[in-house]
Structure 1
Amino acid sequence: MSKHFKTAFIIFLSIFIIDQIVKFGFANFDWNVAGPIMSLELAYNYGVAFSMFSFLQEYLKYIQLAIVFGATMYLYKNPDVFKEYYISVALLFAGGLSNILDRFTYGAVVDYFYWHYGFEFAIFNIADVIINLGVAIILYKQFKQARKEKQKTENS
């Protein structure tokens, strides 16, 4: 097993377990706390981001599993991509699979962070934050690589 895969697996497992424990707590105990800026408030999201596609509620878990399977096959056939983005992959898979497990366990994604200071924002969870972090890392690496390539061509 490669060093990158081991690291990615540890990141994946740690985040996945923590996220599921927190979601279990919100779904089964009264962990709601009202705050002046952000509140902890249980909500179920039957769609995806901002409750989009909630009309596909029964099918979303299968659609998302198919996407994860496709991404896994892509990474298997392109190990250089995995090696370059293994941390982001671990983050995306941990957050994504945790939210998919919610759909099988609770019938919807368990959300609980509710930002309401200055403006109302969607309720979200740790997995959502982790997914966004994974995407941000990919974008950062892409911009950094593009800048390096641009400088290389300008210096040639």
Structure 2
Amino acid sequence: MKTQVVLSVIIFVVLFSIDQVIKFGFANFDWNVKGPYMSLHLAYNYGVAFSMFSFLAQYLKYIQLAMVIVGFIYLLKNKEVFKDYWFAITLLFVGGLSNILDRFTYGGVVDYFYWHYGFEFAIFNISDVLINIAVAIIIYTQIKQWMKERKQKS
């Protein structure tokens, strides 16, 4: 488990730093680039996914920070969960904390990937991608575990 914690911290620091440097660049310099399929375009999201709950903009950072703290406390009390899902949890914490820092620093989450080929899609950032990858890993692991248990019962 010690190795997993060390790897988790290293991955967290590297990905968090990369994400924050990119967001700083978009927020402070003109890094916008128009592409035929996808553009890089600065936008601030004051809500959550697809700007839902933007009416809570000034409170979201505190609500989300409280959720992360509760999750961290849960992991301290349930170390086996971290052991089984350490990589996905690391990605969730990177994405979540980086977006929360944006709310404190810029007043909203810094988004910049904008898909616009064929249909207009949401604008998002690397943190959002990491969160989605983490959820996919957790779902995949849960399905795999369920299938294994189901097979053992038969």
What is residue 91 of structure 2 aligned with on the other side? 91
Taking the aligned partners of 1:69 and 1:85, their CA distance within structure 2 comes to 17
For each residue in 1:1-21, what CA deviation from the matched residue of structure 2 results, as whole angstroms up to 9, or x when unmatched?
A: 811111111111111000000
- Give the letter for the 1:70 counterpart: V
Displacement of 1:50 in angstroms is: 0.3
Partner of 1:47: 47
Aligned length: 154
Q: How far 1:133 moved relative to its partner?
A: 0.5
After superposition, give the CA deviation of every residue in 1:84-116 in whole Å (9 maximum; x if it has no partner): 000001000000000000000000000000001
CA-to-partner distance for each residue in 1:104-134, whole Å, 9 max, x for gaps? 0000000000001111011000000000001
Q: Whole-Å Cα distance in 1 between the matches of residues 12 and 94 of structure 2?
A: 5
Moved over 3 A (4+): none
The secondary structure found in structure 2 opposite 1:70 is helix
RMSD over aligned Cα atoms: 0.8
- Equivalent in the alignment of 1:32: 32
Q: Is 1:132 equivalent to 2:132 in the alignment?
A: yes
Q: Identity of paired residues, percent?
A: 68
Shift of 1:66: 0.3
Q: Which residue of 1 aligns with 2:141?
A: 141
2:62 matched to which residue of 1?
62
Amino acid at match of 1:46: Y
Letter in 1 for 2:129: V
Name the CA distance, whole Å, in 2 between partners of 1:56 and 1:119: 28
In structure 2, C-alpha distance between the alignment counterparts of 1:125 and 1:56, rounded to whole Å: 21
**Distance in 1 of aligned mates of 2:128 and 2:106:** 17
Partner of 1:153: 153
Rounded to whole Å, the distance in 2 between the matches of 1:114 and 1:70 is: 32
User: Following TM superposition, by how much is the alpha carbon of 1:28 offset from its aligned partner in structure 2, in angstroms?
Assistant: 0.4
Distance 2:5 2:132 in 1: 21
Q: TM-score, normalised by structure 2?
A: 0.99
